[in-house]
């Protein structure tokens, strides 16, 4: 397995090299997101000078979460299934998406309801009209909070490595999609019996405009259950 081999190769390098490697990896992912944002939303994708420090701190926090995840894997606290069973991949991917979506929904809901947490989350809500940079305008406490949920879940459950990769692609994609200025979803999406359960650009955009609704990320299901959907 190429991923397993990469992790093995990485273990031969010192901590500084590993940190630089994860920093470059997260920087490339951030640049990819910004590039996609610029392609779809050319006009709207502009960064405010006051946000630059938050984008950099989010990059550093993402690097730290990746590093902690790597160390937990080395200490075998995080275990990864490197099989290529189709059934395991499908099941693990669905389970990982559902678990993450539910706990992120709870975390986001608390970010609005807890008096000490609300001011921290308000930094993200300084963006009422969003663009892809909004995804990275987060207080470090919040970024590390989301990262902790991720690390706890993959420490408790052993997921397939392809499912982990698919989830990370989906997570970045939905981070971009949710903060675009232009809605990229077709009109039928919100009324179709299947697609109406999957959130859209409009869904998260509505949250930025009305903070008491739409706390979910990938699915609309939790907001429907807890009656917080617009
Ligand atoms: Zn947002
Ligand atoms: Zn919010």
Residue 1: pLDDT over 80: no
Tell me how far the alpha carbon of residue 210 lies from the centroid of ligand 2, in angstroms.
9
pLDDT tens digits along 147-171: 999 999 999 999 999 999 999 999 9
Q: What angle do CA 27, 32, 38 make, to 5 degrees?
A: 125
Ligand 1 centre and the CA of 26: distance in Å?
19
Instruction: Kindly tell me if the per-residue pLDDT of 57 is higher than 90.
Output: yes
Residue 181 in this model has a pLDDT that exceeds 90 = no
Euclidean distance between CA atoms 180 and 134, whole angstroms: 9
Instruction: Give the DSSP per-residue string, 162-230.
Output: HHHHHHHHHHHHHHHHHH-SS--S-GGGGTSTTGGGB--HHHHHHHHH-TTS---SSBSHHHHHTT---
- 135: pLDDT confidence band, cut at 50, 70 and 90? very high
Is 211 contained in some domain?
no
Percent of the chain with pLDDT over 90: 92
CA nearest to 59, candidates 117, 143, 120: 143
Mean pLDDT of the chain: 95
Q: What value does the CA radius of gyration of the chain take, rounded to a whole number of Å?
A: 18
Q: Domain count of the chain?
A: 1
Q: Report yes or no on 187 lying in a domain.
A: no
Q: Which ligand is nearest to the CA of 214?
A: 2
Q: What is the tens place of the pLDDT at every residue in 7-36?
A: 999 999 999 999 999 999 999 999 999 999
Asked whether residue 212 is assigned to any structural domain, the reply reads: no
CA of 180 to the centre of ligand 1 (A): 10
- Residue 27 has a pLDDT of 98
Residue 222: inside a domain, yes or no?
no
What's the gap in Å between 187 CA and the centre of ligand 1?
22
The answer to whether residue 117 sits within a structural domain is yes
Q: Which of the four pLDDT bands, split at 50, 70 and 90, describes residue 182? A: confident
User: Would residue 138 count as lying in a domain?
Assistant: yes
Decide if 188 is inside a domain.
Answer: no
Give distance in angstroms: CA of 204 to centre of ligand 1. Answer: 6
C-alpha 92 to ligand 2 mean position (Å)? 28
Domain of 68?
A: 2-176
Cβ atoms of 158 and 72 within 8 Å: the answer is no
- 194/20 Cα distance (integer angstroms): 43
Per-residue pLDDT, averaged over 181-193, amounts to: 90
Across 72-100, average pLDDT: 96
- Say how many Å lie between the CA of residue 102 and the centre of ligand 1: 16
DSSP string of 12-24, one letter each residue: TS-HHHHHHHHHH
CA-based nearest residue to 93, from 103, 81, 105: 81
Give the integer Cα–Cα distance in Å for 72 and 154.
10
pLDDT surpassing 90 at residue 2? no
pLDDT at position 4 is: 87
pLDDT for 211 equals 95
Residue 207 located in a structural domain: no
The per-residue pLDDT for 230 is 83
């Amino acid at each position: 397995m190429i991923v397993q081999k990469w992790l093995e190769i990485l273990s031969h390098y010192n901590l500084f090299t590993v940190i630089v490697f994860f920093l470059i990896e997260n920087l490339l992912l951030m640049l990819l997101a910004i590039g996609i944002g610029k392609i779809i939303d050319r006009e709207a994708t502009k960064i405010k000078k006051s946000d630059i420090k938050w984008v950099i701190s989010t990059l550093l926090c993402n690097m730290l979460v990746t590093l902690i995840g790597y160390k937990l894997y080395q200490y075998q606290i995080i275990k990864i299934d490197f099989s290529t069973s189709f059934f395991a991949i499908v099941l693990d991917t669905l389970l990982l998406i559902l678990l993450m979506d539910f706990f992120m929904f709870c975390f986001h809901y608390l970010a609005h309801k807890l008096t000490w947490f609300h001011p921290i989350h308000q930094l993200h809500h300084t963006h009422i009209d969003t663009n892809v940079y909004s995804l990275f305008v987060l207080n470090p406490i919040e970024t590390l909070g989301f990262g902790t949920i991720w690390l706890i879940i993959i420490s408790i459950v052993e997921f397939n490595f392809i499912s982990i990769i698919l989830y990370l692609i989906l997570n970045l994609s939905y981070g971009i999609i949710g903060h675009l200025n232009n809605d990229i979803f077709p009109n039928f999406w919100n009324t179709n019996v299947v697609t109406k359960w999957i959130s859209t650009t409009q869904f998260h955009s509505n949250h930025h405009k009305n903070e008491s609704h739409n706390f979910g990320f990938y699915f609309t299901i939790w907001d429907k259950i807890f009656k917080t959907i617009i």
